């Protein structure tokens, strides 16, 4: 786990009340108890072990579904002003919050380290919550594009103004817009 993830975990755990802490402790304990330990290596065949893990992970999957319903723009939702989801292996979906323009961590290590840690083959940035952007945010996106395997990022749901800015700056080869974007 990288430094940014450790900071976020500490931030998250520190904000839990006693009831939430006990509930999460119990939930994680029950779900993770199905993982094979050092004490009994090879006791169960792989298919049985996989089925056991899958069954025990269902509460965590339900919790994740509930958490994904919260908006990224919620002031208390995240240290970073963007959310990162992995909708499929090798694909990172980044949802930007309007707070991105004023985020002090944009040019710190934490602003880009997470991408190096994930190392996705494809990155998509959802800009639906932004009506406009700054040159600083665009430069950050270009920096992120440079850290991806393909050297580009796919941009979805940009405002007409943002899409126009990317075209005028001739960055639409690095920050790829969907076909037919006005």
Highest-scoring range by mean pLDDT, 9-18, 58-67, 94-103: 94-103
Q: What percent of the chain has pLDDT over 70?
A: 81
**pTM for the model:** 0.59
Name the architecture of domain 82-176: 2-Layer Sandwich (3.30)
The residue-averaged pLDDT of 151-159 equals 94
In this prediction, residues 101-123 reach a mean pLDDT of: 83
In angstroms, the CA 10 to CA 108 distance is 19
State yes or no: pLDDT of 65 exceeds 80.
no
- Whether residue 130 contacts residue 100, with contact meaning beta carbons closer than 8 Å, is answered with yes
Q: Could you give the strand order of the β-sheet that contains 175-176, starting from the edge strand earlier in sequence?
A: 82-88, 91-96, 122-126, 153-156, 175-176
- In the chain, residues under CATH classification 3.30.750.24 are 82-176
Q: Bridge-partner residues for 176, per DSSP?
A: 154
Interatomic CA distance for residues 160 and 177, integer angstroms: 11
Q: Evaluate if residue 41 carries a pLDDT over 60.
A: no
């Amino acid at each position: 786990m990288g430094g940014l993830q450790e900071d976020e975990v500490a931030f998250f755990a520190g904000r839990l009340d006693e009831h939430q802490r006990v509930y999460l402790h119990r939930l994680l304990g029950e779900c993770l108890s199905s993982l094979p330990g050092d004490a009994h290596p090879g006791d169960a065949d792989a298919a049985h072990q996989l089925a056991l893990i899958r069954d025990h992970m269902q509460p965590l999957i339900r919790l994740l579904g509930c958490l994904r319903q919260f908006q990224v723009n919620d002031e208390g939702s995240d240290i970073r002003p963007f959310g990162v989801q992995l909708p499929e292996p090798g694909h990172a979906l980044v949802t930007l919050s309007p707070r991105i323009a004023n985020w002090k961590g944009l040019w710190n290590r934490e602003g880009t380290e997470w991408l190096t840690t994930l190392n996705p083959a494809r990155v998509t940035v959802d800009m639906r919550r932004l009506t406009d952007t700054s040159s600083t945010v665009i430069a950050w996106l270009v920096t992120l594009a440079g850290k991806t395997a393909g050297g580009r990022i796919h941009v979805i749901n940009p405002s007409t103004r943002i899409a126009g800015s990317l075209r005028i700056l001739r960055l639409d080869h690095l920050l790829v817009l969907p076909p037919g974007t006005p």
